[in-house]
Structure 1
Amino acid sequence: NLVHNGDNIATPGVGTWNVTLDLGGEDNFSATVSQYPNELYMTGSGVGLDEENWNWFEPLQLIPVHSHPELFWKIVWMKGSGEFKFAPQADWGDDFGVTGTANADGVYAKGGDNVTVPATAGYYMVVVDMKNNTVQVTEPKVYGIGSAFGSVWAAEDANYLFTIDNANEVIEFVGVPDDGDLRAHVAATTLACDWWQAEVNIDPATGDIAFRGTGGDPASFPLTTGQTISLNFKAGTGSAAK
């Protein structure tokens, strides 16, 4: 806790650190020191809406990974041409991109160059690892898990991999196997976490795509056998229907 005329706040090492102050309680102030940004955004000429052109028109905020402050991800629509970069706020400052070329998994070293989008327009998965200083751009993978998917709780089960339908701007699963609540997660080679730490769902109250992020379990979204789950990450909406 913070105290009047107390000791200096120590950082764990050399580098850039974020200091978060909690002033919410009388005589119970606290400070948290983190090496990683609390938020991460992207902008450029090759991502998001047509109006998005290096101008932060639409805040393209990446999703933080639960219990992994070094990791952020986002499934984003890329336009087939153009570039993008990242920043820890929806504005310029401490922005970054990549350096060099990507490996076979689409993994770049973090650097100062713009990231060139793939030549085919559509959805792509972006993962930023601030600890290992990598940026990955790859095919998105969304998996169903749990009671509506054979009651299988093993991550990345190929039987429950969603299909990318770029023509209709959705990622979908056709023919839910069982009645149950929707549970789903994303995956990528640099997204080193448990499935629930990168969970995606549908908000039953709004129909918006819901992300666990750093929060708790999502609200239950009931499914019935045979439904098709559609996730439009461009619009931020989801649905399930026969």
Structure 2
Amino acid sequence: MKKIFSLIILLAGIGFFHACEDNEKIVLQQPESFVLNIPKYASGIYDLKNTETIEFTTSQPNYGFTAATLYAVQISLSQNFAEYTTLPGTYSAAKFDISAQDVAVALVALHDVEEESDYPADPHPLYVRLTATIAGSKVEPVYSNVIQLPQVLGYFALEAMTMPEEMYLIGNVAGNWDWNSATEMIPVWGSPGKFWAMQYLGQTEGGDNAEIKFNYAMAWNGNEFGYNEVTIGEGSAGLAGTSDAGGNIGIGNPGWYIVVVTTAIEGREYTFSVDFLPPHVYLQGNVNGGHWGTTDEIHRFAIPALSLGADAEFISPAFTAAAQGDDDGGVRASIQLPGHEWWQTEFMVFDGVFVPRGAGDDQARVAGTAGQRLSINFTKRTGKIE
């Protein structure tokens, strides 16, 4: 029997009802089910490897009015749906196409196979049902009838590899091998999988040279990578004096470095290259006389003495002109990576906090006056203009 709910609909705000007056009562019914139609070509073979999409049509559940319904697709190898998976995405129309690749990927998990040789070679039945919900409501999901696609030929499909969105640097100096204290590297704008950090790679209190590793998660989970898993860029090995330190990247020339990790995807694996660059930071724009994208030495920040340790500030040259903010670009600063525009690695200080642009939008403007300087502590992620 259908469950009946009473909803009070106010004039403002509920988009899935037609025009109504204040305090008008609408009776919302909780349907028991709704109809998923059998596709026109269901009796044929669905060759998922050579098919882009599968079309489905459905009738809307009878809620007692026309509702903004969202449909999701569930599939199973058994008609009773003892085990099933929900495919990615939702659909707002009663006729829609689903991705054949999404089905293929889901089938790998349903078949519980880890090797391509174990995947079924012959077509087999696949059972499909829909769930329906009302967008923005707390109404319980409604399930459609179950239909059978008698002959579905899957393949050993794996989810597409995507670039890591985070990267962390750890070491005996950087974080003391504690992931909770590791350096979170900064994404390079417009270059997925590429990250940078201004990193102190001096010596430990005991006089040992720095050793580092990386991971795209803050964990010892088997995905960390060091000397044997990376390609060190041309020129970087000599600059930093890198070596194999028991699988870590050893730094033979203690100092500050811009450390860059670049990720690539080869087959089902990530590959990584690491570069060590001089720790040069530059003022940009009106505060340096109107120079944008400059790498002139006169506009460089002073590099702190190595004896000051990691907790030291990079200090800019004095501003040569005022910068008011939005009208003239404000105070701007950046590092410069080969092959990139300066603004793709820019950063600024807001209320004492160092904030990199990273992969995000253009940053808010900060004003400055002639004679002031910008100071940044890259380790603590703090800074000031004074």
TM range (shorter): 0.7 to 0.9
Partner of 1:95: 224
Deviation for aligned residue 1:45 = 0.8
Partner of 2:100: 7
Which structure is richer in relative contact order (CA contacts within 8 A, separation 6 or more)?
Answer: 1
Pair 1:146-2:285 in alignment: yes
Give distance in 2, aligned partners of 1:123 and 1:196.
22
Over residues 12-53 of structure 1, what are the superposed CA-to-partner deviations in whole Å (9 max), with x where a residue is unaligned? xxxxxxxxxxxxxx59xxxx9553101001112132xxxx32
Partner of 2:274: 135
Give distance in 1, aligned partners of 2:187 and 2:232.
25
Give distance in 2, aligned partners of 1:46 and 1:154.
32
Deviation for aligned residue 1:101 = 6.8
1:48-63 map, 5 Å: 52-63=175-186
1:170 paired residue among 289, 313, 316: 313
Partner of 1:201: 348
With over 3 angstroms needed to count, the CA separation of the structure-2 counterparts of 1:106 and 1:199, relative to structure 1, is: farther
Aligned residues: 212
The answer (yes or no) to whether the contact 2:280–2:335 under 8 Å persists in 1 is yes
With over 3 angstroms needed to count, the CA separation of the structure-2 counterparts of 1:237 and 1:46, relative to structure 1, is: same
Deviation for aligned residue 1:207 = 0.8
Partner of 2:331: 182
Give distance in 1, aligned partners of 2:278 and 2:199.
10
Partner of 1:20: none
Partner of 2:32: none
What is the root-mean-square deviation in Å for CA atoms of aligned residues? 3.0
1:36 paired residue among 163, 170, 174: 163
The answer (yes or no) to whether the contact 2:313–2:378 under 8 Å persists in 1 is yes
Over residues 173-196 of structure 1, what are the superposed CA-to-partner deviations in whole Å (9 max), with x where a residue is unaligned? 13111101211111244xx32111
Deviation for aligned residue 1:83 = 0.8
Give distance in 2, aligned partners of 1:91 and 1:56.
6
More helix by share: 2
Match of 2:298, SS state, is helix
Partner of 2:235: 104
Give distance in 1, aligned partners of 2:194 and 2:233.
18
Q: Which runs of 5+ in 1 are unaligned?
A: 12-25
Match of 1:68, SS state, is coil
1:156 paired residue among 295, 298, 307: 295
Give distance in 1, aligned partners of 2:253 and 2:226.
18
Q: Which runs of 5+ in 2 are unaligned?
A: 1-87, 92-97, 106-134, 137-158, 204-208, 265-270, 324-329
Pair 1:113-2:244 in alignment: no
Match of 1:36, SS state, is coil
With over 3 angstroms needed to count, the CA separation of the structure-2 counterparts of 1:118 and 1:207, relative to structure 1, is: farther
Give distance in 1, aligned partners of 2:383 and 2:224.
31
With over 3 angstroms needed to count, the CA separation of the structure-2 counterparts of 1:194 and 1:57, relative to structure 1, is: same
2:377 paired residue among 217, 228, 232: 232
The answer (yes or no) to whether the contact 1:68–1:193 under 8 Å persists in 2 is no
The answer (yes or no) to whether the contact 1:46–1:117 under 8 Å persists in 2 is no
Deviation for aligned residue 1:231 = 0.9
Report the AA paired with residue 38 of structure 1: E
Give distance in 1, aligned partners of 2:212 and 2:278.
17
With over 3 angstroms needed to count, the CA separation of the structure-2 counterparts of 1:37 and 1:113, relative to structure 1, is: same
What TM-score, normalized to structure 1? 0.76
Match of 1:222, SS state, is coil
User: Which protein has the larger Cα radius of gyration, Structure 1 or Structure 2?
Assistant: 2
Match of 2:176, SS state, is coil
Report the AA paired with residue 232 of structure 1: N
Report the AA paired with residue 172 of structure 2: S
